[in-house]
Amino acid sequence: MSKISSGEFKQGRVVDISILEKGNKAYIQNARIKFQGKKPEWFPASHIDFQNKLLRIDKTVELERSSTISIKKNIWFRQGIDLKRRRIVRPYDFFFTSNKEEVELVSVLYGFPGKKVLWSDFLPIYPHGFDKILKLHPADVADILEHVSIKKQVKVLSKIPISFSSFVLSEMDTKRQAFLLDLLNLDMAVKMLVNMPRNHAANILRDVGEAKKYLSQMNQKTEEEISMLLSYDPDAVGGLMDSEFIKLKENFTCEEAIKYLRELSSFSENIYYLYVTDSMGVFKGVLTIRSLLLAEPLIKLNEIMKTKLISIPASTTREEIAQIMSRYHLLALPVVDEVNRIVGVIKIHDVLESTLEYPV
């Protein structure tokens, strides 16, 4: 394995390299070489012996320039992401291996003293090609992006799938979320809001000057759910709760309940408890996924559900909810209206986030 910077071509030096990515690997496609007294010229990698710094000049060969990254324009001393160490880096050298057929770019060098990161663990922040970032947790991506310019944050969020970018945005610093939302394409911004948990979307829209601009582009059900959350005091539980939760009817058999869960197109990423209601939607009981799966198929839910219920009104303060969940060792807690119908669920991770942001 050799360094790009180690040694120079006779009377010349490499001033740029174009890279072709294939999966998680990168191959040098062309090299731009500056010879003394001449303008820099591009040469195909197939006509260069990088190992021995020899150039076999043949100007009849056309350069391949498809899907390339320029080291000088996109990588050299520019911000990239070390996915392994979860940090922003500025590469200043590169390591490669070569054979008669191809020259593979293996790793990049950055920092002092020099740290190496494999190309498969390195993400250059250039106009396209952000699939590698999907290896990380959205919270880690959010932390990393806060160290790059707003323009690059928008670029990354715009290039990765909505199903991932929405959670990245929801994990970012609250002061930046609304600002970023206004910089994104409206259609994309709305899709991101719809895809994230409803309470996260509501928290972002509280800080947006024209929330109606986004709400009016959503389907009626989603608009109503988020608008309901916006109507609550942000310092109370109503401002933290998630309106997406699973309700099951008390006259369901366990078999019917399991079938119903399978048919759901989507539901919350964290299912702590299943809430059981009567035909009017009044909260009657709670059970876990485990108890549902272990029960006899034809037993009805009202025979196995727990009826010693703990619930809270939407006016409960952040301090009170933290104390209740700690006292009863709860992972989630239903929020009910004046007639005991469930209007939302407060989850332990939302309480923890709120406590870290606004210490109780």
Per-residue pLDDT of the chain (360 residues; tens, 9 = 90+): 777 776 566 667 788 889 988 878 899 899 888 888 888 888 888 877 777 677 766 556 677 777 688 888 889 998 888 988 888 899 999 998 887 778 899 999 998 888 999 999 998 887 666 778 888 899 999 998 888 888 889 988 988 999 999 999 999 987 789 889 989 999 999 999 999 988 889 989 988 878 899 999 999 999 998 998 888 887 777 778 888 888 999 999 999 999 998 887 555 555 778 999 998 999 999 999 999 999 999 999 999 999 999 999 988 887 888 889 889 888 889 999 999 999 889 888 778 776 665 444
φ and ψ at residue 284, rounded to 5 degrees: -120, -30
Contact 122, 71 (CB under 8 A): no
Element (H, E) at 88: strand 87-89
Question: Which residues lie closer than 8 Å to 22 by C-beta, 6 or more apart?
Answer: none
The whole-angstrom separation of Cα 57 and Cα 184 is 47
Distance of CA 78 to the CA centre of its chain: 22
Fold of 247-357: CBS-domain (3.10.580)
Contact 9, 33 (CB under 8 A): yes
Sheet of 332-336, strand order = 312-313, 332-336, 342-347
Fold of 136-231: MgtE N-terminal fold (1.25.60)
Q: How many angstroms separate the most distant Cα atoms in the chain?
A: 89
The whole-angstrom separation of Cα 15 and Cα 41 is 9
Domain limits of the chain? 2-124, 136-231, 247-357
Side-chain-facing half-sphere of 164: CA atoms under 13 Å: 18
Amino acid at 312: I
Question: Which residues lie closer than 8 Å to 212 by C-beta, 6 or more apart?
Answer: none
